[in-house]
Structure 1
Amino acid sequence: MSQSSQTSQTSQTSDVPPGASHTHGKSSKRTLPARPRWLMLAIIALLHAYIGWRLLTPLPVAMGWKVLGGLWLAVSTVLIPLGLMSRAIQKEPLATLLTWTGMTAIGIFSSLFVLTLLRDVVLGVAMAFSVLDAQLVTRSAVIVLILTAASTVLGFYNARRLARVVEIDIPIADLPSELKGFTIVQLSDIHVSSTIRRRYIEAIVEASNALKPDLVAITGDLVDGGVPALRDHIAPLGQLTSRHGTYVCTGNHEYYSGAPAWVAELRRIGLTVLENEHVVLDHEGAALTVAGVTDFTAHQFDPEKRSDPQAAIAGAPEGVPRVLLAHQPRSAPAAQEAGFDLQLSGHTHGGQFWPWMYFVPLQQPFVHGLHRLGRLAIYVSRGTGYWGPPKRFGAPSEITRIRLVPGKV
């Protein structure tokens, strides 16, 4: 991985000592006070009871099958909170087992709940138009179960297979001819954890290297867990090859997992982490500025790490194309104001599985794909891995090959 062509011009130092220990308590653990925890458990139990009441009663099956369905809902009520809290469990293989079962239960429950809710809407409309009958009640319950099973199986397959390569040309105004065709491989939201391990990282690295990019960009949420547990699993990222190296910005899950320690570890294996700073690359005699910001919520964990696109570009040469790595799409207005030409983001997972892509706009301005904000182009990756349930439905994972081309804004 050659980085000999880069000249570092940063707004703050990139060097973090390998033994950095200034980890903030908030960044390593997220815990709920006892009362909200019990409230969460009560809500989960009530939602499962709703599913059982609305689905199990009308099913045209023997009572024994309904009892089994009720037992599954009871087990799911317990597995979901255990899966969410599994990172706090140090004992293996118990922690991994709880993660797998708990997160799978979340995926099944999510589809069951949404489809049951939609079924009730349909039945309500049918009742309003006086077309509701016993057959519709029974068949609609069966359809909910079939759709849940199908989306879970297909979603698991989509989540666990290697992300496909998505190729896109992004027009940049006033792009120097030397930078025409400059290629960036974007990896995002891999979420290395108990369910995404070294073998998948090795496959990603092999796929990225085969594309022979000029630069590799990792746009946050690389890990879900601490350095001691996941160090060996992310190690293959040190084998990523490109003309100008691999650049990383932090995501919110790095802060949940101990960002200072992870920044030090990623730098140790040869990756360049950009925390509100930039580098200037020399490519065929033309300059390209590549900047990175800390996560949009970083200040909640460390006030000194507030995400700041303006600080990231401070001191950069004028008249040079500027690319920003920013984990969350909502950094775009600040990136536009700072004068960037391209922002690469992730965070949304494209919604990951139906119907959550329709709720992402409540928090983020863009869900996935290429967008424009004045002169600024924003590309939002659907992510290269997944978070939580091993399930992707309607939002496939991707390894993105971006090609810069001249164009008008």
Structure 2
Amino acid sequence: MKLPKISNININIKNEDLHNMQILHLSDLHINKRTSVENIKTLVDICNNIKYDILVITGDIIDCKVKKIQNLLKILNNLEKVYYISGNHDLFYGIKDLEKILDNFNFIDNKTLFIKYNDKNIAIAGLSDRFSKFFKIKRDENKIINFLKKNKNSILLAHQPKDYNFAVNTNTNLFLCGHTHGGQIFPFHYLVKLVQPFLNGLHYKKNSAIYVNKGLGTWGIDFRYKANNEITLIKLIHK
């Protein structure tokens, strides 16, 4: 996992309550036995030297059993104000064990909450991954939909871009996700586009802004081509 420079992006949103809010967005770390302690420590240092309001991680922190990488994962507890939803790899390798280790994280699979920003209540919801059903975890879609419909200044986190409709159909201001790795290795971009509505980057649909993070780590082959990894600092702008 080679660490990139910080990418800064402004996202236009419809709700003035979110104006100037800064969100540090990570995704798809895919930490495994080959990941070095130095790399994780450097990642934490990079994040902690950035001014942000919240840090979100949109799935797939792990790529092996938690017990094999506990020393690496514990370092991540030095991150602050983290809101996290699981990805398919987290579910496969042990989401319950991951939650026990990352005790400084806010795990928000199928959860709703409010955070304070400029004395305003900002609504945040997390939808568990589409693979949840294979691990006997219910995706509480109705709960998430009803919550987002009731709150106009809202942010939705999910792992896969496919879930963008939950944001668009509820007029959610911002939808953040990952999963695609931006295709990871060209020309596999085209295969990803067959199964996901967005490959990477910023998109707007109706009243919602959608951002697909290309992630930090790799899956399968430890190689990227024409799909650079990213750490993204998002600034929300009301116009």
- Which TM bucket (shorter chain)? over 0.9
> Which residue in 2 is equivalent to 1:284?
118
**1:324 deviation in Å?**
0.9
Letter in 1 for 2:88: N
How does the TM-score come out when normalised to structure 2? 0.93
Count the aligned residue pairs. 239
**1:190 deviation in Å?**
0.3
**1:404 deviation in Å?**
0.8
Matching of residue 206 in structure 1 with residue 45 in structure 2: yes
Of 358, 364, 382, the residue aligned with 2:196 is: 364
CA RMSD of aligned residues (A): 1.7
Matching of residue 246 in structure 1 with residue 56 in structure 2: no
> Which residue in 1 is equivalent to 2:206?
374
Letter in 2 for 1:201: I
**1:161 deviation in Å?**
2.5
Check the 8 A contact 2:174/2:208 in 1, yes or no.
yes
Check the 8 A contact 1:299/1:307 in 2, yes or no.
no
Letter in 2 for 1:373: K
How does the TM-score come out when normalised to structure 1? 0.56
Residue deviations 1:74-123 (CA, integer Å, cap 9, x gap): xxxxxxxxxxxxxxxxxxxxxxxxxxxxxxxxxxxxxxxxxxxxxxxxxx
Of 77, 90, 100, the residue aligned with 1:264 is: 100
1:319-334 equivalences in 2 (<5 Å): 319-334=151-166
Mind listing any 5+ residue stretches in structure 1 that lack a counterpart?
1-159
Using the alignment, how far apart are the partners of 1:331 and 1:315 within structure 2? 16
Check the 8 A contact 1:348/1:382 in 2, yes or no.
yes
Matching of residue 231 in structure 1 with residue 70 in structure 2: yes
Residue deviations 1:378-402 (CA, integer Å, cap 9, x gap): 1001101211211111010000100
> Which residue in 1 is equivalent to 2:6?
165
Residue deviations 1:156-184 (CA, integer Å, cap 9, x gap): xxxx43122111111110322xx321100
Using the alignment, how far apart are the partners of 1:352 and 1:316 within structure 2? 32
Check the 8 A contact 2:179/2:215 in 1, yes or no.
yes
Using the alignment, how far apart are the partners of 2:167 and 2:207 within structure 1? 10
Matching of residue 219 in structure 1 with residue 53 in structure 2: no
Query: SS in structure 2 opposite 1:256?
Result: helix
Query: SS in structure 2 opposite 1:205?
Result: helix
> Which residue in 2 is equivalent to 1:305?
138
Letter in 1 for 2:44: V
Using the alignment, how far apart are the partners of 1:359 and 1:239 within structure 2? 37
Matching of residue 342 in structure 1 with residue 183 in structure 2: no
**1:316 deviation in Å?**
6.3
Mind listing any 5+ residue stretches in structure 2 that lack a counterpart?
none
> Which has the bigger relative contact order, CA under 8 A and spacing at least 6?
2
Using the alignment, how far apart are the partners of 2:92 and 2:6 within structure 1? 29
**1:222 deviation in Å?**
0.4
Matching of residue 388 in structure 1 with residue 224 in structure 2: no
Check the 8 A contact 2:152/2:173 in 1, yes or no.
no
Check the 8 A contact 2:30/2:60 in 1, yes or no.
yes
Letter in 2 for 1:264: K
1:5-404 equivalences in 2 (<5 Å): 160-176=1-17, 179-241=18-80, 245-266=81-102, 268=103, 270-302=104-136, 304-306=137-139, 308=141, 310-312=142-144, 314-315=146-147, 318-404=150-236
Letter in 2 for 1:380: V
Using the alignment, how far apart are the partners of 2:30 and 2:67 within structure 1? 15
**1:373 deviation in Å?**
2.1
Deviates more, 1:323-332 or 1:313-322: 313-322
Using the alignment, how far apart are the partners of 1:370 and 1:316 within structure 2? 21
- Bigger helix share: 1
Residue deviations 1:210-238 (CA, integer Å, cap 9, x gap): 11211000100000112211111111111
Query: SS in structure 1 opposite 2:44?
Result: helix
Check the 8 A contact 1:174/1:406 in 2, yes or no.
yes
**1:325 deviation in Å?**
1.0
